[in-house]
Amino acid sequence: MGDTAGMDPQSATDQELVAHALEAPQAYRWIVERYSPRLLRYARRIGCRTEQDARDVLQETFIKAYINLRSYDADLSFSSWIYRICHNEAVSWFRKQRVRPQPASSDEELFALEEVADPRAFLEGIEQTLNRERLTKAMQAMREEYREVLVLRFFEEKSYDEIADILYKPPGTVATLINRAKKQLAEILQDSPL
């Protein structure tokens, strides 16, 4: 019993977990366990080079999320809310460390095409034959703001509205950024040797 009070944490909604964590702090671990794997991958995709760096960012993310748990409102999806905190913490971390956000080249799993939910949309305008190594190198070489939106759209499977909520930008701007990001990706792939 303890931190669940009869609730099944696996099937509970995010809002139910939040409400429960506010009553019983130990229940916060269910939120951490639900989101830590995907946020870890997200942090690495947007530029944390090592797993340790990503864990540091993640720790700050969950601490901050806990402190601000009462500011979460149900009109925003919890996923978008916590992704936003993770994004902001990653950006702060890069600034503090004075490093350029760049995903590690060694981890080709981060940008495996198999991870993309809608590969046709992702590859529209880009060559259809793409191996992991080329894609990873191309994603590394992209501008940060373009890589961010591509990661959120195609690897994290977020909608335009969710990306707008995460990045604190108007939805129209998100659409423009995604178009530009795909153009840049196509150019980088065209210039890179096969």
Asked if residues 64 and 153 have their Cβ atoms less than 8 Å apart, the reply is: no
With CA atoms as reference, report the closest residue to 72 among 14, 26, 24: 14
With CA atoms as reference, report the closest residue to 8 among 25, 26, 24, 27: 27
Does residue 5 belong to the site contacting other proteins (CB under 8 A)?
no
Candidates 52-60, 107-115, 121-129, 131-139: pick the segment binding other proteins (CB under 8 A). Answer: 52-60
> Could you tell me the two tokens for 163?
């990306």
Candidates 21-29, 106-114, 124-132, 185-193: pick the segment binding other proteins (CB under 8 A). Answer: 21-29
Q: Dihedral angle at the C-alpha atoms of 48, 52, 57, 63, nearest 10 degrees?
A: 170
Does residue 145 belong to the site contacting other proteins (CB under 8 A)?
no
Which string of x and - marks every residue 53-72 that binds other proteins (by CB under 8 A)?
Answer: --x--xx--xx--xxxxxx-
Residue numbers 148-187 binding other proteins by CB under 8 A: 164, 168-173
Does residue 16 belong to the site contacting other proteins (CB under 8 A)?
no
Cβ count near 175 (within 10 Å): 15
Provide the minimum distance between the beta carbon of 64 and other proteins in the complex, in angstroms, as a whole number. Answer: 10
> Could you tell me the two tokens for 31?
């939120």
Does residue 73 belong to the site contacting other proteins (CB under 8 A)?
yes
Does residue 40 belong to the site contacting other proteins (CB under 8 A)?
yes
Among 7, 19, 32, 175, binds other proteins (CB under 8 A): 32
Does residue 146 belong to the site contacting other proteins (CB under 8 A)?
no
Distance, in Å, from the CA atom of 107 to the CA atom of 87, rounded to the nearest integer, reads 20
Among 4, 16, 19, 36, binds other proteins (CB under 8 A): 36
Provide the minimum distance between the beta carbon of 155 and other proteins in the complex, in angstroms, as a whole number. Answer: 18
As to burial, measured by CB atoms within 10 angstroms (0-12 exposed, 13-18 middle, 19+ buried), residue 141 is middle
With CA atoms as reference, report the closest residue to 138 among 115, 105, 163, 116: 105
Cβ count near 100 (within 10 Å): 9
Q: How many residues bind other proteins (CB under 8 A)?
A: 31
Which residues of this chain interact with other proteins, rule CB under 8 A? 22, 25-26, 28-30, 32-33, 36-37, 40, 51, 55, 58-59, 62-63, 66-71, 73, 164, 168-173
